[in-house]
Structure 1
Amino acid sequence: MVIERLEIPDILLLMPAKHGDTRGFFSETFRADVMAPHVAESNFVQDNHARSMQQGVVRGLHYQIPPRAQGKLVRCTRGAILDVAVDIRIGSPTYGRHVAVELSAVNWRQLWVPPGFAHGYRTLEDDCEVIYKVTDYYDPECDRGIAWDDPALGIDWRLSAADAVLSDKDRKQPLLADVPPAFHFGREG
């Protein structure tokens, strides 16, 4: 597995090897011993699986606050998505900046999004499936979000607001400037 640090060094792009033959393929998509030198915590406790039926679905930007902050290891197993992580750690040199990476069933890449980042994605094709591991359990009391189209973030979703397919929850998310701080660079919470 090849691991690459992105423009925001805490976010990692993972590229698992795929070994194929006439039967299909085999791939190790996660190994704790390979991740350990690169991340502080990768003790995954829950797997999530989401299916979106049409291109243009936007899910996010979501995060959980402490004590249930989550790191996520995201991969797309059907179709293709534009996966986005936004640094929301107060005092971080990359606060408010984002990384956007295309993940697909074809390129087989994964994105590690640590706690302290808001995460979301946009489907680039019809019938997409996304599977992601998380480091803490879902807790509705800690569930938070940021407006996917916050102009201060400057995310190019390759999609107009009129064409975005959103949940009611994601239509009502606040701007980053209006969100109480939950994460501080260099320390938890």
Structure 2
Amino acid sequence: MNKSLSIVGFGKNRDSADFYPTPPQTTEALFKRERFDGVVWECACGDGAMVKVIEKYNSCMASDIRTDCYVYAEGGVDFLTNYKEVPNIITNPPYKYALEFAQTALLCAEKKVALLLKLVFLEGISRYNFFRNSPLKTVYVFCKRQPIWIRGEVGKNSGLIAYAWFVWDKSYKGQPYIDWIND
């Protein structure tokens, strides 16, 4: 894989499973700002990078659609078709299915959903309609670009994309607000 292009996801250089593990500090930043009551499902767990951080704070169940040797927990679970009710969902979804993951997560989660997404997820008419009808509470924007890992290494051109934690809270009523992460 050409690491210099994979971060921006161009054609054949993109990881076929959108497998870009989340650095621990990125997940830690979420837990400095949010609390999750009950079990958390990491439904696109990959190599378990996020699970290892989540388990410091909550009980965590984990799965991934992939079945290769890199999968940390239960493999072969397609979140978009084999979902179940859980208190909370936290994940870094495959970018090409970000909206579908957000929609499905809101059907499954009884309390909260937190997704690590590209900041440009805020754009678009279909997502506008989705946001207007969802309990989005907070968008935590990273002030510093987050390094993206590719098979355990920071990608060569990592840090080109702005990321944010999008947090939905089923008990929240009101307009979403924005905050910044400058850790």
Q: TM-score, normalised by structure 2?
A: 0.26
Greater RCO, 1 or 2 (C-alpha within 8 Å, sep 6+) = 1
Rg larger for: 1
Q: TM-score, normalised by structure 1?
A: 0.25
